[in-house]
Structure 1
């Protein structure tokens, strides 16, 4: 079976696991106030090259929901693309704690800057929520990657209207290493108020780094984490993992491998004459297949069914990782060819 369902389907990169095993007899203080976490934060900050606040949390959902709600008053809400992770993939967590999500026009998973500017410029009277944070993902839930000009325009609109910009970076490694990306991690810190550096989907066993570029938004954030049950007692485990990920650029090398395998897949799909449901820009490849083919495909390949498309077509998602091999990509392509050849 060729595994392309997701990018969190293994224990973790061997170098991350080795780092944990090397420290198995070391004793650390609790709750992330330890030398391992401190060093990991220093290593990340050295890449960002600016004064930021960094907190580690165990999951992407906890990173999103707590970073957002910690900076929202009860009458304030979040602006997102309709395909956003907080909209469709977190069981309504944000709205469950009392904050509405409103949508603006988007394309291929990315908020359109003009649509955002138009929405924020409206008169938001007290009959509706007051928008306070714009949420975007990079890469998006549809595998697309924001360009620097798009981020600059979105952030400018936020600043002009007193709104914060939050970037969900669960797949930030893949975004930054994408051939479509024209900025670095250092650049990113000047393009938003908060962003995350996802570890779970790029070689960590678990864990996300929340980066507060606007440090005022992270004031006393560890109290908020503790109150909500995610200030992990063994926080040093995330510190050790991020040390490994930011040693010799492993974080970026993992993403490069995942992306290179995705591009090989995309090349094969294109040569086969199949259409992409969304642009192939990162480690998520969305393919349009004739209706009724998925059951046969599932006999040899794992994937996500993204539902029907126009014209009796179905959308499937294939995700590559740092441990995807060329022969696995070829096996997937062979399976696809047997369906449509």
Structure 2
């Protein structure tokens, strides 16, 4: 089977594995106090052009979202998110389990805008209700779309005006940064958000996310104690440090996203050439073709994909995801099969 199911099917980038093996027998202190973690953090600060921030290397995306949101909010406060947001549908109620409500906003493109957030804030003025305090977005979104710099800045300006934290989930940040439609530089995230993270798990690492806390209010409450209390402080913290040090050397992070996007755009162009409708106009590494169920079943004999949603009794949306490890020849094979099956079923 050829997998287009997710962007973490394989282990890790070869140079990451080589670095882990090379340093395997070194003795370092634990819990992220090692020299590799320090170097990784320094490299990331230089990359985002922000020395005045707190960076913590964590293991996974759900863990990172839970820690950031639960740490930032008081018991009566809530977080606003799109209905398609990762914290809304892919984290088994992790945020709600900490006692914080996720206020969901329906969107057509997976993105929040100032007007929709403003309306939701105004709906929660009564003291009988939870108080919105954070806005959660992701880039790319869960459906492959991306924010423009103007959209990000507008949300940032409104959040400052309304006294809200703006938190950005960057699980697939490498893909967003290198999308042909992107105009946001990596340092812009440090300018326009209160907190964000740079994804590693879906961008070529065995595991790992780099959480960046910009707003000083979020750095005042002993974040390291929160990570330890919630089981998120890895004893062998150098495993994160080594990986992120390698990933952010030179332009490697961008190279990961560039390859992922190029493979995905080949699939997108092939679908459009066969008049296959796509659920979203994605220019990142996730593509969502709308296909007859019989065609999906045929593809499933050879390829792994993610079932996304049912359209009607005969049609559904599936998701193809590409990664740093996606082989061009596998994409070309998928394209040939799409062409053949399209003639048969469309």
- Map Cα deviations across residues 27-53 of structure 1 (whole Å, 9 max, x no partner): 111100111101000000001111211
User: Which residue in the other structure is 2:293 paired with?
Assistant: 291
Structure 2 SS opposite 1:166: strand
Aligned mate of 1:253, from 252, 255, 260: 255
Structure 1 residue 27 and structure 2 residue 35: aligned?
no
Residue correspondence of structure 1 range 236-315 to structure 2 within 5 A: 236-309=238-311, 312-315=314-317
Q: Which has the higher helix share?
A: 2
CA drift of 1:104 comes to 2.3
Using the alignment, how far apart are the partners of 1:105 and 1:116 within structure 2? 11
Using the alignment, how far apart are the partners of 1:213 and 1:204 within structure 2? 24
Aligned mate of 1:230, from 232, 241, 244: 232
User: Which residue in the other structure is 1:88 paired with?
Assistant: 89
Paired residues in the alignment total: 341
- Map Cα deviations across residues 151-191 of structure 1 (whole Å, 9 max, x no partner): 11111111111000100110111111111110111111111
Shifted more, 162-171 versus 118-127: the winner is 118-127
Structure 2 SS opposite 1:80: strand
Q: What is the TM-score of this pair, normalised by structure 2?
A: 0.96
Structure 2 SS opposite 1:146: coil
Runs (4+) of structure 1 exceeding 6 A deviation are none
Pair 2,123 (structure 1): closer, same or farther in 2 beyond 3 Å:
closer
User: Which residue in the other structure is 1:171 paired with?
Assistant: 172
Unaligned 5+ segments in structure 2 are none
Using the alignment, how far apart are the partners of 2:79 and 2:274 within structure 1? 41
Compute the RMSD of aligned alpha carbons: 1.3
Structure 1 residue 134 and structure 2 residue 115: aligned?
no
Using the alignment, how far apart are the partners of 1:121 and 1:191 within structure 2? 23
Structure 2 SS opposite 1:333: helix
User: Which residue in the other structure is 2:154 paired with?
Assistant: 153
Residue correspondence of structure 1 range 27-176 to structure 2 within 5 A: 27-50=27-50, 51-122=52-123, 124-176=125-177
CA contact (8 A) 1:300 1:335 kept: no
CA drift of 1:297 comes to 1.1
CA drift of 1:211 comes to 0.4
Pair 28,260 (structure 1): closer, same or farther in 2 beyond 3 Å:
same
- Map Cα deviations across residues 120-158 of structure 1 (whole Å, 9 max, x no partner): 245511111000110011111101111111111111111
CA drift of 1:290 comes to 1.7
User: Which residue in the other structure is 1:332 paired with?
Assistant: 334
Using the alignment, how far apart are the partners of 2:182 and 2:313 within structure 1? 32
Using the alignment, how far apart are the partners of 1:123 and 1:260 within structure 2? 43
CA drift of 1:339 comes to 2.2
Structure 2 SS opposite 1:102: strand
Structure 1 SS opposite 2:197: strand
Shifted more, 147-156 versus 287-296: the winner is 287-296
CA drift of 1:311 comes to 8.3
CA drift of 1:272 comes to 1.5
User: Which residue in the other structure is 2:6 paired with?
Assistant: 6
CA contact (8 A) 2:80 2:103 kept: yes
